[in-house]
Every structure is written in C-alpha cells, then in structure tokens.
Structure 1
C-alpha cells in the first residue's frame, strides 16, 4: 500500500471533521444569512463558533476573521484589496520575496503592471531572507510587505519575529501567507504586528474549498481592504456569496483540534524526519533549505533525477518534486532557483511531507529504490 507523503499539497480530513461536515450538509443545512427561521439561526451559530476557533489559533478576535475559499483567495484579497488605499495615499511600493507561492507573486505582478513598484528580497541556500535586507528595502511609500511563513516546497521557516521587529516603527501592512504553518506552527503568528494572515483548511485536515483571511486591527482600525468581488455583502462586504457553512464548521473544528495537539504533532513529525534524514545520509543526500518545518523534507540525491525517483517510488510512497499548484509545468522550481542551487540539484529535488497521522515512513523501501537509481 502506498504511503501518502504529499501533505504539503493537501491533507486528509480528520474523522471528527468529516462527521461534522456531513451532519451539517444533511441536517443543519440552513443559510447563515437567513434571519427569519431557526435553520438560518443554527447555521449562523455554527459559523460564529468556527470564527472563534480559527481566531484562537493566533490569538485574534473572532471579528477579525473573514472566511474565504482558501489561502489563494485570502492572498488575493490581502494584496489586491490594498490597491485603492495605496493609490489614494501615494503608497505604491511592495516588498516580497522570490520564493513566494504563485498565489502571492501573481497578484503582486498584477499590481506591478498597474503602476506599483515591487522589491524582491533575495535568499541564499538557507531559503531565508535577511532582516537587514528588509530594513534597507523599506521606503517611505512602502504599502505592503508580503512574506510566506513556511515555504511550501522546502519547509524553510522565516522568522516572523525578526520581520515584525524591522517593521515596528513603519506603517507598512504585513501580510503572512501561513498556508503551511497555520494550526501546525502557529506561535509566531500571534505577534500583533502581523496585520494579515492567510490560512487554508485543506492543509490542516479540514475540507478543500475553505480558508480564512485574518485582518488584525491596529488599535480600532482594521486594514483598509476593499473587496475584489461584489454581490451580497457577506463577510463585512469583503467576500460576497453564500457562506459554505459545513466547510466553515469543519475548518473551525480542525483548527481547535490542531491547536490542542500542536506540540504532540510537532514532536511526532520531527521524529519521522530525523529517521528519514539518518537513512538519506547513507546516500549523501543534500537537504534543500535550513531551519525547516518538522512536517517536510526537501532533498536531492546526487545523480538521481526527481522524475525518475517518483516513478520508482510509485506504489511505495506518494511524493512530490515541487508545488502542486505548478506541477503541470515542468519548468525548474522558482523557489530552488531563487535559492541559487545548481541545475542538477534542482532537477533531483524531492519533497516528502507528512502529518501527525503518518504512523511511520517506508524508509527501507525508499532507500532501496533510490539506491537502484544510483547504480
């Protein structure tokens, strides 16, 4: 039986979450916007409970949570939603990195085509930005700094604290794409200097199609976002459309479970990672990224191509060689390229990612198959 080791792409839904989602789909199916009967009231109650469960992960207030279809939509609202404010206040400079997800890079590119200027922070083999470079890059008209917390390909963790310290006396809005860390490595996200946080349900054992944008207030002022879609006025006018109550409730429960179990899940994940690293050391593996999440390992084995590796591992382990969102294209990883790795190392890069429900890794089988490719 194949072991699923592509949790950075998506995760299975927890049994408790699936049960709740099913119950609401079949029994508590009211529209949260219907105010005239108990079905609507019950749906609204489920949404507000979930709003608090999501907010609690990062010590936010539930009023600061906007439900979306996932981190991609949250990223788009956070970035494109600041366009009008930036233009009105002559703040049209954005700072980001070369290793962001396309769901951040492409909205920023759209703003760049519409008169904004963008500074891209570089990274080295560690996959981390240098806080001093961020400080040098800040300008008086910097509107937004958008930096991913945990990289989806390498698992490299950016220091949110260092970023917040640099921005302490600057008015720029800080957006963190936390798709890979929300509910797993959430402590850094509790920093009040983080204005906007994007989260995705299907990365934390909730259904696909649900996520959130957390918009922290500065004092009593919320970030000046404008909607990028129109019609209905739901979610404080920022995200119109009938709320997906079953998915929202499932996401909320998943967040509550994740928050309660975060330390144990991290400990188990790190144990699996240590075992895999010890085995891969026998193949002289190179590890892509430093200070990485316990839930992922990106590695290259000299003289082994990742496409060939995925073929021989079929039936043993479901792994990846990059972001699921760009897997249809065979261009070299923009993340590993930005980290200045050589072409062979990039071509050989394999991403293995797991979750708390991964009891063990098929290490001996993986090593055996990779050894065959080295011959």
Structure 2
C-alpha cells in the first residue's frame, strides 16, 4: 500500500474528529440559527464550543473567530474585505511577497486592477523573506502587510514575529497560517497579528471549513466589509447556515492540535531524519534553508531526474507531489521555486514530501533503489 506523503495538500482526519462529525450529521442535526427548540440550541452550543477551541490555539478571544469554508476564503475576506476602508483611510498600498499562495496573490492582482499599489517583496534561494525588506517596503499610505507563515511548497517558515514587532500601529497585519495553525503555536499567539487565515483540513480536520481570526487591537478590529450578503451569521462578515458537523470537527481537531503538538513535532522530526538520509544517498539537494523548515516538510531536487517521471515510478509506494495541490492541474514551473532563483533543471526535478505524526515508516532503501535506476 502506498505511503501518503502529501500532508501539505491535506491531512488525514483524526478518528475523534470523524466521530463528532457523524454525531452532528446523524443525531444532533439542528440548525445553529434555530432559537425556538433544543435541536437548534445544541447546534449553536457546538458552534460556540468549537469557536473557543479554535481561538485557544492562537490565544484569541472566542468572538475573534469567523468561520469560513477554508483559508482561501479567509484570505479573500481579509484582503478584499479591507478594500472599502482604503479610500476613507487614504491608504491604497499593500505589501506582500512573491511566494504567497495563489489565494493571496490572485486577490492582490484583483486589487491592483482597482487601483491599489501592490509591492511584492522578493527573496533568495533560502526561501526565507528578509523581515527588514518587508518593513522597508511599508509607506505612509500602506493599508496592509500580508505574509504567509510557512510556504506550502518548501515548508520554509517566515519571520512573522520580527515583522509584527516592526510594523507601525496603523498598518494591519495578515498572516496566511494554513500550514502552521496547530503546528507552530507561539508565533501565532502574537497579539500584533491582526488577521490569521486557517483551514481545518491541514490540521487533521475536515475539508470545507476554516476560519479567519480577526483580533481587536487598540480597541478596533480590522474594518472588513463582507464579500457575500444574506444573513447575520459570523458577525455579518460571512453569512450562511453554519455547517455544524464541520465546525464541530474543526473544534476537536484544534483542541487535539494544541494538546499534542509537541509530541507530533517530535514524531515528525524522527521521520525527517530518515527522509533526509535517503535524499543524501541519492545526491539530492534540499530546496530552502533547512534550519527554517517545518518538521514535516521536505522540498528536494534529485539530479538528472524529472519529478513527473519520479512520481510515476513511485506510484504504489509513495504518494507525493511536486508543488501546490491547488495548482496541480498546471504543469507550469512552481512560482515559489522560480522566485527563489533556482535553475530550470533543479525546478524540474523538485519533489515535495510532507508527512504527519500518523505516517507509517517508509522503506527508504527500496525507494532509493527504484530512483537510482532512473538517474
């Protein structure tokens, strides 16, 4: 059976998460907006309990949590929702980076067509953004700085704490934390981060639910306008009937992530040691600075080996990828590896391995034998 090594695309669902989801599908199926009977009351209680569980991971308040369909929607609300405030504040400049997920880069391009000035800060082959370059790009008319916490393709963690410490009070700070929520705890508890985008399915919860954390700072929340209309749910920012089973599952996943993150990290690091040894035996190169990489991610280039051919040869042994799942239908070079300045051969041979605490052991010697025959 193939070993799943694509956890950056989506993680397996924890059994306890599935159990609570089934209960709110089959037994407690009320609408959280129904105030007139006990089914609705219990559904609302489940939603509010999950809100507390998600908020606890980032040391936020319960009412800071806005449930969404996932980090892509959260990113769109954070970026596009602030656009209406730009004119009244005389701030139409946004700072971000060249390695953001498409769920950030594409909304930024849309804002550019509306007359916003977008600065994308570049990086080098380490895959890590220079915090001082971000801060130097901030101007008197800057509305927002948006920087991902860790890159989904390389796993390289960005210096969000340094950026947060150096930003002027009047600039809002958004972090796409899809890859780090529940995995790197302390950095996301920084109260200077105003907006955090997260997805449940990256942290052993269900697909189709996520959240936008919107913190109060200096007495005010980021002044976001809704992108959809039709109800008062989620403080009017994100209307629609709550998917109670998904939200309840997300809450349990968040609770487990906070409780077990140290143990999970240690397990992932042990797996990483074996994977790095195998890469070294093949003469491979790790893309990005190892000292800044998440414990459960490796982006590697194997000399003389096309990544597509490698994935085909390993089918049935390893399930892995060569980039973001959100752009997997495209065979264009990774915009992240291009931004890092890697040469074409290294980009073409790049593979992403991402695992979790539940990933079984891999027969790395057999994997190396298969790949050597192709090199």
TM-score range (shorter-chain normalised) is: over 0.9
Which residue of structure 1 aligns with residue 355 of structure 2? 354
Which residue of structure 2 aligns with residue 370 of structure 1? 371
Which residue of structure 2 aligns with residue 162 of structure 1? 162
Q: Deviations over 1:199-244 (max 9, x none)?
A: 0000011110000000010132111011001111210000010000
Please state how far the C-alpha of 1:31 moved relative to its aligned partner. Answer: 0.5
CA contact (8 A) 1:198 1:212 kept: yes
CA contact (8 A) 1:3 1:362 kept: no
CA contact (8 A) 1:147 1:176 kept: yes
Structure 2: gaps spanning 5 or more residues: none
Runs of 4+ aligned structure 1 residues displaced above 3 Å come to none
Q: Are 1:108 and 2:108 matched, yes or no?
A: yes
CA contact (8 A) 1:316 1:365 kept: no
CA contact (8 A) 1:176 1:197 kept: yes
Q: Are 1:340 and 2:341 matched, yes or no?
A: yes
CA contact (8 A) 1:317 1:362 kept: no
- Give 1:81-230 correspondences, 5 Å limit: 81-167=81-167, 169-230=168-229
Look up the SS of the partner of 1:148 in the other structure: coil
Q: Are 1:233 and 2:232 matched, yes or no?
A: yes
Please state how far the C-alpha of 1:135 moved relative to its aligned partner. Answer: 2.0
Which residue of structure 1 aligns with residue 276 of structure 2? 277
**2:154, 2:106 → 1: CA distance?**
20
Q: Deviations over 1:9-30 (max 9, x none)?
A: 0111111100110011000000
Which residue of structure 1 aligns with residue 295 of structure 2? 294
Please state how far the C-alpha of 1:164 moved relative to its aligned partner. Answer: 0.8
Which residue of structure 2 aligns with residue 69 of structure 1? 69
Between the two proteins, the alignment pairs up a number of residues equal to 373
CA contact (8 A) 1:180 1:203 kept: yes
Please state how far the C-alpha of 1:274 moved relative to its aligned partner. Answer: 1.1
CA contact (8 A) 1:101 1:152 kept: yes
Look up the SS of the partner of 1:45 in the other structure: helix
Please state how far the C-alpha of 1:68 moved relative to its aligned partner. Answer: 0.2
**1:177, 1:314 → 2: CA distance?**
31
Which residue of structure 1 aligns with residue 23 of structure 2? 23
Please state how far the C-alpha of 1:372 moved relative to its aligned partner. Answer: 1.1
TM-score computed with the length of structure 2 as normaliser: 0.98
CA contact (8 A) 1:164 1:194 kept: yes
CA contact (8 A) 2:132 2:163 kept: no
Q: Are 1:47 and 2:47 matched, yes or no?
A: yes
TM-score computed with the length of structure 1 as normaliser: 0.98
Q: Deviations over 1:264-311 (max 9, x none)?
A: 101110111111101211111110111110111000011111001000
**2:364, 2:91 → 1: CA distance?**
51
CA contact (8 A) 2:3 2:360 kept: no
Name whichever of 269-278 and 333-342 sits farther off.
269-278
